[in-house]
Amino acid sequence: LYARFNEFNTSSPENCTTVEDDEIICREDYAVESITPHPEYDMYNISRPNDICILRLASDVTFNDYVRPICLPFDLVIQQLPVTDEIFTVTGWGETEERRPSDIQKHVDLPGLENDACNSVYAVANVTLTDRQLCIGGLNGSDSCRGDSGGPLMREVAGGWYLVGVVSFGARFCGTQNLPGVYTNIAKYLDWMETVMFVEQYL
């Protein structure tokens, strides 16, 4: 298993792309050393609580103008910002309106909603969200979709980008009006993430 960086167009046979100022950026693959799912994740629970895992790479990533780390919302000010009617950004190569994966990485801006909005929609399927999940979207033709799961839900605050969620699940037909998607709320897992990233590696 490996993690790929500097990828944009998956249909291109070229490993390198020329970008601004004639800079050449090449795909890079990094071996995954370990996978740590959340200990309370239950794949048989239809509400998908604790739908999060951490991949540890075998080597450090080389950063550039196009590959940079994103901030985690450790700041309480960031955690306490409102969600409802705020704008969030999702990226990925998931299915498009043609019902097939996209060749190029796409992004979409979506509004945040109260969790009750998702609970009312998914009640027929016995899905109940907790505060460890986020309800996002519900716009016609704009959504995350199959193939985007595990991807980032981001928020821009004061010029900085924060990873606030992870794509978890949504309606069968993506981009349906009033059928929002469900995302894992990163802020609720920071203690566990710190334990995995900074403690368990020394055990």
Q: Which range of residues forms the domain containing residue 122? A: 86-188
- Residue 200 is predicted with a pLDDT of 62
pLDDT < 50: residue spans in the chain = none
Exposed, middle or buried: residue 13 (CB in 10 Å: 0-12, 13-18, 19+)? Answer: exposed
Task: Output the pLDDT for position 115.
Answer: 92
Round to whole Å and give the CA distance between 119 and 144: 18
CATH number at residue 110: 2.40.10.10
Query: Do 94 and 161 fall within a single domain?
Result: yes
Are 179 and 113 within one domain? yes
Q: How confident is the model at residue 203, as a pLDDT?
A: 56
Q: How far is it, in rounded angstroms, from Cα 134 to Cα 203? A: 33
For residues 150 and 168, what is the distance between their CA atoms, to the nearest angstrom? 7
Cα–Cα distance for residue pair 143/155, rounded to 1 Å: 16
Question: How many residues can be counted in the chain?
Answer: 203
Which two three-digit tokens encode residue 13? 């046979």
**The total number of structural domains that make up the chain:** 2
| pLDDT given for residue 190 in this prediction | 97
Pairwise CA distance, residues 84 & 27, whole Å: 37
Residues 155 and 122 in one domain: yes
For residue 79, being part of any structural domain is answered with no
Residues 110 and 194 grouped into a single domain: no
What's the pLDDT at 96? 84
Position 189 scores a pLDDT of 98
60-110 confidence digits (pLDDT tens) = 999 988 899 999 999 999 999 999 999 999 999 988 888 888 888 899 999
What per-residue confidence (pLDDT) applies to 21?
A: 76
Token pair 């699940």 is at which residue? 169
In whole angstroms, give the CA distance from residue 9 to residue 105: 7
The predicted pLDDT at position 165 comes to: 97
Give pTM, 2 decimals. Answer: 0.91
